Structure 1
Amino acid sequence: MPRLIPSSLLLAALLSSPAAFAADTPFVFGTFNQAALARYAPLPTPQADSTGSGYRVTLDWTNEFVADQSGGETLLLDGESLRLGLGGRLRYGPWLFGAELPLLFTGGGTLDGLIENWHRWFGLPNGGREQRPRGKYAYRYSDNGVSVLDDEHGHSGLGDARLFAARCNQSGGCWRAMLQLPTGNADQLMGGSLGLAVWYEQGFAFTTLGPWSGSLAAGVSGVHGDGPLDGQQQDFIPFGWASLGYGLTSALDLGAQFYLHAPLYRHSDLDALSRPGGQLSFGFRYRSAAGISTWLGVQEDVITESSPDFSIHMAADFR
Structure 2
Amino acid sequence: MLRRSVLLLALLLSGAVQAEPFVLGTSNQAALARHAPLPTPQADATGSGLRLSLDWTNEFVLDQRGTEALLLDGETLRLNLAARWNWRGWLLGAELPVLNTSGGVLDSPIESWHQFFGLPNGNREDEPRKQYRDVYQRNGQTLLDLDSGKTGIGDARLSLARCGAAGCWRGLLQLPTGDAERLMGGGLGGALWYERPYAFAAGGAWSGALAAGVAAVRADGPLQDQQRQFIPFGWASLGYQLLARLELGAQFYLHGPLYSDSELAALRRPGGQLAFGLRYRPTPQTSLWLGAQEDPIIESSPDFSIHLAVDWH
Name the TM-score class by shorter chain: over 0.9
Q: TM-score, normalised by structure 2?
A: 0.93
In the alignment, the residues of structure 1 paired with residue 220 and residue 131 of structure 2 have an alpha-carbon distance, to the nearest angstrom, of: 25
Q: Where does residue 276 of structure 1 map in the other structure?
A: 270
Q: Where does residue 124 of structure 2 map in the other structure?
A: 129
- The answer to whether structure 1 residue 217 and structure 2 residue 211 are counterparts is yes
User: What is the aligned-residue identity percentage?
Assistant: 64
Aligned-partner residue type, residue 107 of structure 1: S
Match of 2:55 among 27, 37, 60: 60
- The answer to whether structure 1 residue 177 and structure 2 residue 171 are counterparts is yes
Q: Which has the larger radius of gyration?
A: 1
Shift of 1:290: 4.4
Match of 1:250 among 238, 244, 252: 244
Aligned-partner residue type, residue 238 of structure 1: P
Shift of 1:210: 3.4
Q: Which runs of 5+ in 1 are unaligned?
A: 1-18
- The answer to whether structure 1 residue 149 and structure 2 residue 144 are counterparts is yes
In the alignment, the residues of structure 2 paired with residue 208 and residue 160 of structure 1 have an alpha-carbon distance, to the nearest angstrom, of: 38
Distance 1:170 1:23, change over 3 A: closer
Q: Where does residue 289 of structure 1 map in the other structure?
A: 283
Match runs of 1:112-123 below 5 Å: 112-123=107-118
Whether the 8 Å CA contact 1:23–1:247 is kept in 2: the answer is no
- The answer to whether structure 1 residue 191 and structure 2 residue 185 are counterparts is yes
SS at match of 1:228: coil
Shift of 1:117: 1.4
Match of 1:45 among 16, 33, 40: 40
SS at match of 2:287: strand
In the alignment, the residues of structure 1 paired with residue 215 and residue 90 of structure 2 have an alpha-carbon distance, to the nearest angstrom, of: 21
Whether the 8 Å CA contact 1:94–1:169 is kept in 2: the answer is no
Per-residue CA shift, 1:263-317, capped at 9, x if unaligned? 0000000000000000000011101224110100100001000000000000001
Per-residue CA shift, 1:213-248, capped at 9, x if unaligned? 100000000001110000000000000000000000
In the alignment, the residues of structure 1 paired with residue 27 and residue 200 of structure 2 have an alpha-carbon distance, to the nearest angstrom, of: 25
In the alignment, the residues of structure 2 paired with residue 256 and residue 93 of structure 1 have an alpha-carbon distance, to the nearest angstrom, of: 33
Segment drifting more, 30-39 vs 90-99: 90-99
Shift of 1:93: 2.9
Whether the 8 Å CA contact 2:287–2:310 is kept in 1: the answer is yes
Whether the 8 Å CA contact 1:78–1:138 is kept in 2: the answer is yes
Segment drifting more, 204-213 vs 279-288: 204-213
Q: TM-score, normalised by structure 1?
A: 0.91
Per-residue CA shift, 1:49-96, capped at 9, x if unaligned? 101110000000000000000000000000100000001000123210
Shift of 1:114: 1.1
Whether the 8 Å CA contact 2:251–2:276 is kept in 1: the answer is yes
User: C-alpha root-mean-square deviation of aligned residues, in Å?
Assistant: 1.4
Q: Which runs of 5+ in 2 are unaligned?
A: 1-15
Q: Where does residue 311 of structure 1 map in the other structure?
A: 305
Per-residue CA shift, 1:154-181, capped at 9, x if unaligned? 011000001010000023x000000000
- The answer to whether structure 1 residue 84 and structure 2 residue 48 are counterparts is no
Segment drifting more, 296-305 vs 122-131: 122-131
Q: Where does residue 5 of structure 1 map in the other structure?
A: none
